[in-house]
Amino acid sequence: MLTKRIIPCLDVKDGRVVKGINFLNLRDAGDPAESAAAYDAQGADEVVFLDITASADSRDTQLSWVRDVASTLFIPFTVGGGIRTTDDFKAILREGADKIAVNSAALMNPDLISEAAMKFGSQCVVVAMDAKRIEGTDRWTVYKNGGRVDMNMDAVEWAIKAEKLGAGEILLTSMDADGTKAGYDLELTKAIASSVNIPVIASGGAGKLEDFYTAVEAGASAVLAASLFHYKELTIREVKEYMKERGISVRL
Amino acid sequence: MIAVVDYDAGNVKSVEKAIEKLGAKHILTSDPEEIRKADAVILPGVGNFGDCVNKLSERGLDSVLKEYAASGKPFLGICVGLQLLFDESEESPGVKGLGILPGKIKRFPSSDELKVPQIGWNDIIESKGRLLDGIDKGTYFYFVHSYYLECEDPSIVTSKTEYGVTYDSSVESGNVFATQFHPEKSSDAGLKVLSNFLKIAGEV
């Protein structure tokens, strides 16, 4: 049976993992390849790297750490952040990444999704969306530039459009839930997951074991968390065992 | 020397990295001569069935691969590399596969319950053969695909997997091996499968 995936997310800046991950007892806590390998050993089903490097001339650094990760990590990994063209896709995929997440660039140029899907296959095109509820309604709009600019575009409509253009997965972050540890935005997860036929990865808000379970119940195919795992408040194994006890299929 | 077939079909790098990790030597090539000379061949792949058939035939590799598979030297197809070994696919009606093994590739049934493509870790509900030596049934592998194999010869099927339907997720006929899952992305279990192949090939 296909399992629900548990995905740790690592922020990378200038080729180094940021956010504390000392708990992993790594020789070098900031090394993307070692951090990823440690998560693999813990049972992560895949790993997402978000490159938050601000400088524009950082592509070489990015390619270098992607190459290192690919040499040591034998589970799928996604790279996102600052990817704007199919040439960017090509360069990163060639170093061994499996999937590319696009957010603002896809909003500004939706054809990027279809071009990338045509060239590299839908399986490697992840459309990441940051969605925020329109207060007092059951609607959400999507934001670009790391949640700074409201596109005034309906999140459900954008998800449907992304699927039509050839996205293979949707990485759905709730801006309202993100950082609150109050649980994923279940209504948003449900609204998006029930509108598309591609897998939806729920992101933003995980704080306790139950949150992962309820996100899956709301329709998520995978659940992503960052700080919860970084600071070892929960381990991937604990999450999987909890889900298994509740009848959710996981890889243990 | 292992030849990894280069036909511009994606995710080749991860196959190469896994072979390196296991300590074997390989070349990435689309040169028919190099492929003929290789001690074993791996046909990786992600992508559209018809496109992949075209890319192989443009490079004159279709006949080379058929010859190679018939030679008895070890051959491993992965994902689309499995699908290409069969006769035809619903993904590309009218396009002929390599026809090395008997069977067809069908699309997963669409329903609200079933997301297509299947993306993620699924288990094999049986496990036999040399490629899966040491792999128990119930072991999870990483899959990414919208189409599945319906093999016409049950005797060559070495594992089955369930996703809406029960389908054939790996095969083994003589020295021709193929997996629908990605061993190079399936952590320790996947590396074990690749290591089995490299051992069969005498490369490790």
Q: Active site residue: B79, B91, B145, B172, which one?
A: B79
Between A243 and A96, the more confident residue is A243
Contact predicate B165/B157, CB 8 Å = no
Could you report how far apart the first and last alpha carbons of chain B are, in Å? 10
CB atoms within 10 A of CB A245: 10
Say what the ipTM of the complex is. Answer: 0.91
Cβ distance B121 to A197 less than 8 Å, yes or no, reads no
pLDDT at A53 over 60: yes
Nearest to B95 by CA among B68, B61, B145, B57: B57
Q: Which residue has the tokens 């018809």?
A: B50
Contact predicate A143/A152, CB 8 Å = no
Cβ distance A168 to B120 less than 8 Å, yes or no, reads no
Burial class (CB in 10 A: 0-12, 13-18, 19+), A172: buried
Cβ distance B187 to A40 less than 8 Å, yes or no, reads yes
What's residue A49's pLDDT? Answer: 95
pLDDT at A26 over 70: no
3-class SS at A126?
Answer: strand
Can you tell me the mean pLDDT for B36-58? Answer: 92
Interface mutation vs chain B, best among A74, A217, A223, most B CBs within 10 Å: A74
pLDDT in tens, B26-44: 999 999 999 999 999 999 9
Least confident of A167-181, A236-250, B7-21: B7-21
pLDDT in tens, A99-155: 999 999 999 999 999 999 988 888 899 999 999 999 999 999 999 988 899 999 999
Give the helix/strand (H/E) hosting B120: strand B118-123
pLDDT in tens, B81-134: 999 999 999 999 999 999 999 999 999 997 777 888 899 999 999 999 999 999
Catalytic residue list of A: 11, 130
Q: How far apart are CA A103 and CA A178, in angstroms?
A: 16
pLDDT at B10 over 80: no
pLDDT at A22 over 50: no
Question: Which of B13, B21, B119 shows the shortest C-beta gap to A94?
Answer: B13
Peptide bond preceding B117 in cis form (omega within 30 of 0)? yes
What's residue A21's pLDDT? Answer: 44
Identify the closest residue of chain B to A250 by CA–CA distance: B121
pLDDT at B13 over 70: yes
Identify the closest residue of chain B to A68 by CA–CA distance: B17
- pTM for this model (two decimals): 0.94
Cβ distance B21 to A120 less than 8 Å, yes or no, reads no
User: Residue A225 is which amino acid?
Assistant: A
Residues of B in contact with A70 (CB under 8 A): 13-14, 17
B203 classed as catalytic: no
Least confident of A12-16, A155-159, A215-219, B139-143: A12-16
Question: Which of B117, B162, B163 shows the shortest C-beta gap to A168?
Answer: B117
Measure in Å the smallest separation between the Cα of A94 and chain B Cα atoms. Answer: 6
